[in-house]
Structure 1
Amino acid sequence: MSKRFNTLETTRILLEHAGILLGLIQRMDVENLRYLREFDLQQALIKHGRHVNAQERRRLQRAFSSDNLFHANLVIDIDKVEGERRLVFHESLLELLRLCDLSLHRELTDARLRTRLVALWDLNARLEAASFSEADADFTELADELNAQLSQLIGLLRQNVVRMQGVSADLAEISGEASRAPEHFATFRQSMLARIATLYERHIKPALAFLNPDTRLADGANLFATLETLVRLFERHGKQDRADQIFRVSLSLNAMHKPIQTVAREVDNFLRKTRRGMLQYNAIEHHYGRLLDALERTRTRDLRVTRLSGGDFLRGDSFVSGLKGFQRPRSYAFGESASYYRLLFSEIELRLADQRRRGEAPALPDMEASLGTERIDAQRIQKLFHWIDILELRPTEDLVRELHGRLDDFIDGYRFPDLLAVLNRLAHAQPQGMRIHTTNRFRLLEGEAGDLYIYRRRRLEKESSA
């Protein structure tokens, strides 16, 4: 009798040579099968065995034999249909191998999410009739099963979030044909739309609906309503620790909605791309990948490589030289300039002074009511002039705009004609130690009802000491 390996040894060999099964799992997903053909497994084993020595080849043949895999409980069933043997591998082994390759993660479907939600409904119904006593084995088993279901749900969604965040690479691969066959772009676009629409409708959209707290279902509560019911159920029976645990799970699931929504927007934008846009997308992805490779070289143990080698990247791409013709973005004014800080602090002091004097600001009579009434009109002008006479001013390049902003913020009933009266007042009684200089530069000021007023820019300057 030939020697067999136990489960631990067989699993270790399978993981050491994971490439054999990874390719077969990918074929399973493409053909939408739940089993592996024994012939395909042997073919993959022979192909892989060409790159190892004879002793290792015999070891692999023994470990990957159907008899050994079955007795190691890694294959749970062997079925013979139409003259071929089909191997049904243990789901845990397949999920472990999928963790080793991001591209093999299965996207969430409505059926898989529905199964998880129905299981939570069933647990909720059974817990409502439970004793909630830690001494009751039935209750503890239900509580442990609930924790296991929630943990598996979080793990499943997290894997698919990571898988969806890598959709950029899939989109780049799909659009790669557009640059190689422009004459067949119309046919390619039709095929691309079908593939991306399937990805969106069958995987992304169900996940978004599953994680949407506002989703309404015909036959039951949505995910977050179910979790909230479970939280209240445990709180009502004094199980605060278990209730807090479920609440934390609810928060974690709620946070997963945003990254999936970001992927949905990316897919939607990709569907709107033209051939030119796809070529640009591919170029950006290509050079971004080169930058990532250069970054990874700085993370090795070689202490001589601690920074990105930008020179090699620039010399290797002809399009970068054209960027020299563009001006670099200008830095924002907020910096180390002493004059900028003086101007900033002066503005803050004036604003604070206006805030302190807000109670003293007059409420001007309605201008329409004052028309034709000399007494009311005189009162309005007198109040406005009194406010201007005690207003603290500073040197400015545009006195009209500054006065408009300060009067509009603090004077109730202020209208644009009041600004003209204030300017006339300052022109005849200029602030002490300052003078108004009228320039020939014209500016626009937006008034009430969207009206635009043209005025000459006036500067308020300090008088030079003679």
Structure 2
Amino acid sequence: MSKRFSTLDTTRLIFDHPKILFRLIERMDRNETRYIRESDLVAEVMEYTRNLGKADRDRLRLAMNTDNLFRTGLVIDIIKAEGERRLVFQDALINLMRACNASLYQELTDARLRGHLVTLRDVRDRLETSSFSEADLDYTELRDDLNERVSQLIGMLRQNVLRMQTISARLADMSGDASRAPDKYLEFRQNLFEQIVTLYNRHIKPILVFLNPDTRLPDGTNLFETLEAMVRLLESHGDLSLADQLFRSSLSLNALYKPIQSVAQEVEHFLRKTRRGMVQYNAMENFYDKLRELKGETETLSLRRKWLEGGEFARGTGFLVGLRAQQRPKHYAFGGSASYYQLLFSELELRLADLQRKDEVPVLQEVEGSGRYARVDVQRINQLYQWLETLQLRPTQDLVRELHGRLEGFMPGYRFPDLLAALNWLINTPPEGMQVITTNRFRTLEQEPESGQFVYRKRLLENRTPQTQAEAQHV
């Protein structure tokens, strides 16, 4: 008597070695068939078990034998056609294998979606003539049928959302040739365009139309109108529990529209990419896949692997080394305090006052050097001092930067020595009621590339206190 495996043992072996069925399902989807050829199964098993030990090899080959799969019920039918044997596996097993691998999810087509919608419309029509009595077996069976169909629809759409959210990897695979064959880029782009357009029109767009509550169909109500009609029927006949459950299901379906819409926008954006953009896209996707592999190693049953071991990844890529030494980017945001808005409005008032005095701003004469044009320098400084006497200033924590901002780009002929002259004039003759305080803190002022940087002591411009004013008068 030959060794036999039970359904449980066979299923356990299949999931211990899932790559066999993964590859067969992928081939089945690529050929757009609902069966797996026996020759493909045998070849895949022989290839996979080649490097296994003798005991594991014999056990797996026996479990994946066609007779054992048919006897255990995992293969429900064997079709003989065109000189070959075709195996039809249990839908439950195939769907469970798809659930274990997001790349095997089947994209929904318009025909499949319309089939689900027609089924829900049929349930609605039967519900209109139902007795709504718990004692009626037909009604209880109809309720179970409704719950099952809605749950299947939600589960199927969620799987497709997960499948669509991994479309970045598929787009990277499609565009991989762009970086390897730049001379064939135009031909490649045309082929890529055809593939993505097919993906969009056959799978993404039908789901968008199906999940859009504003869709108008010529043959009847859309999905949400059908569900709302059933909710109203159940509420009017007192079945509030099922009505509430169906209403929550419609909300779940409505929430799936936005992720699919984001995928559609990503596809449209990808079609506008140049060859350089595709190369950059592929590079990012490549490193992202490596990080996902490292993350997948932490999702095993071992409790010791809790942290992502990315040291080798960081050293191998290079662009992460030294990242901690970089300062975080500083965000710019409006403050929430009253003093912040007072400073903001005060700055706006000063800038507006400067613009109103635009005609009074002196045009300083250009100076080629220092020491050779003394008379021009004196005239230039006198013009600057006369303008500073009428300049409105407010208390500030950095007088040098404040002056630079008021002079640069506003006064024609402004140059860096003018800032030093203006600062010296304000230190000696500060505005009435104010004083300049020099601190020991240093700041850096960025100049033009050819001028370098200016390191200066931070100076404060503050209002004089009554005590300070009294001391000044006494002196």
TM-score scaled by structure 2? 0.69
1:150 aligns with 2:150: yes
Which SS does the other structure have where 1:27 is aligned? Answer: helix
Q: 1:200·1:264 contact (CA, 8 Å) conserved in 2? A: yes
State the alpha-carbon separation in 1 of the partners of residues 148 and 16 from structure 2.
29
- 1:250 aligns to 2:227 (yes or no): no
Partner of 2:93: 93
Q: How does 1:179-198 map to 2 (within 5 A)?
A: 179-198=179-198
Q: Are the aligned partners of 2:294 and 2:308 in contact in 1 as well (CA < 8 Å)?
A: no
- CA distance, structure 2, for counterparts of residue 240 and residue 92 of structure 1: 32
Contact kept in structure 2, 1:161 and 1:256, CA below 8 Å: yes
> Counterpart amino acid of 1:399?
E
Aligned length: 369
Q: Which letter does structure 2 place at the counterpart of 1:273?
A: K
CA spacing shift, 1:230–1:76, aligned 2, 3 Å: same
Deviation at 1:288, TM superposition (A): 3.3
What's the C-alpha RMSD, in Å, of the aligned pairs? 3.5
Tell me the residue number matched to 2:4: 4
Tell me the distance in 2 between the aligned counterparts of 1:10 and 1:26.
Answer: 21
CA gap 1:234/1:305 in 2 versus in 1, 3 angstroms: closer
Corresponding residue number in structure 2 for 1:31 = 31
| 1:52-91 equivalences in 2 (<5 Å) | 52-91=52-91
Per-residue deviation, residues 109-136 of structure 1 (Å, max 9, x unmatched): 1111111111101111111111100111
Q: Is the 8 A contact 2:20 2:48 kept in 1?
A: yes
Matched letter for residue 38 of structure 1: E
Q: Which one is further off, 96-105 or 203-212?
A: 96-105
Alpha-carbon contact 1:35-1:87 (below 8 Å) kept: yes
Matched ranges for 1:397-408 at <5 A: 397-399=347-349
- Counterparts of 1:340-355 in structure 2, within 5 Å, are 343-344=339-340
Alpha carbons 1:396, 1:461 under 8 Å: kept: no
Structure 1 distance, partners of 2:332, 2:309, is: 27
1:276 partner letter = R
Partner of 2:329: 329
Contact 1:436 1:460 in 2 (8 A): no
Cα separation, partners in 2 of 1:102 and 1:397, compared to 1, 3 Å:
closer
Correspondences of 1:196-345 after superposition (within 5 Å): 196-292=196-292, 309=311, 313=314, 316-317=316-317, 329-332=329-332, 343-344=339-340
Instruction: Give the letter aligned to residue 396 of structure 1.
Output: S
Deviation, structure 1 residue 293: 5.4
Q: Structure 2: how far apart are the matches of 1:10 and 1:129?
A: 46
Report the equivalent of 1:165: 165
Question: Could you tell me how far 1:291 is from its partner in structure 2?
Answer: 4.7
TM-fit CA distance, 1:312: 6.4
Which of 346, 353, 376 aligns to 1:396? It is: 346
**Per-residue deviation, 1:316:** 3.8
User: Residue type matched to 1:23 in 2?
Assistant: R
Distance in 2, Cα, partners of 1:166 & 1:33 = 23
Change (3 A) 1:10 1:294: closer
Which digits, 9 at most, give the CA deviation of each residue in 1:202-221, with x for residues without a partner?
11100111100001111111
Alpha-carbon shift at residue 48 of structure 1 (Å): 1.8
Letter in 1 for 2:47: K
Cα pair 1:37 1:86 within 8 Å, conserved: yes
Residue 444 (structure 2) aligns with: none
Contact kept, 8 Å, 1:436 with 1:461, in 2: the verdict is: no
Q: Show the counterpart of 1:387.
A: none
Q: Between the two proteins, what is the percent identity of the paired residues?
A: 51
- Contact 1:35-1:88 at 8 Å conserved across structures: yes
Q: Distance in 2 between matches of 1:137 and 1:146?
A: 14
Instruction: Supply the AA of the counterpart residue of 1:145.
Output: D
> For 1:128 and 1:2, how far apart are their aligned partners in 2?
57
Q: Contact (CA 8 Å) 2:350, 2:392: kept in 1 or not?
A: no
Contact 1:297 1:305 in 2 (8 A): no
Unaligned runs of 5+ in 1: 348-393, 404-415, 417-434, 445-458
Between 217-226 and 3-12, the greater mean CA deviation after superposition = 3-12
Unaligned runs of 5+ in 2: 357-388, 394-405, 411-430, 435-462, 470-475
SS in 1 for 2:340: helix
Residue identity opposite 2:126 in structure 1: R
CA contact (8 A) 1:228 1:247 kept: yes
User: CA, structure 1 residues 11+278, in 2 after alignment: closer, same or farther (shift >3 Å)?
Assistant: same
TM-score with structure 1 setting the length: 0.70
- What secondary structure does 2:176 align onto? helix
Between the aligned partners of 2:160 and 2:432, the Cα distance in structure 1 is 63
Structure 1 residue 321 displacement after superposition = 8.8
Contact in 1 for aligned 2:295/2:308 (Cα 8 Å):
no
Residues 401 and 227 of structure 1: CA distance in aligned 2, closer, same or farther (over 3 Å): farther
Distance across 2 between alignment mates of 1:71 and 1:28: 22
Q: Deviations over 1:374-402 (max 9, x none)?
A: xxxxxxxxxxxxxxxxxxxx993443679
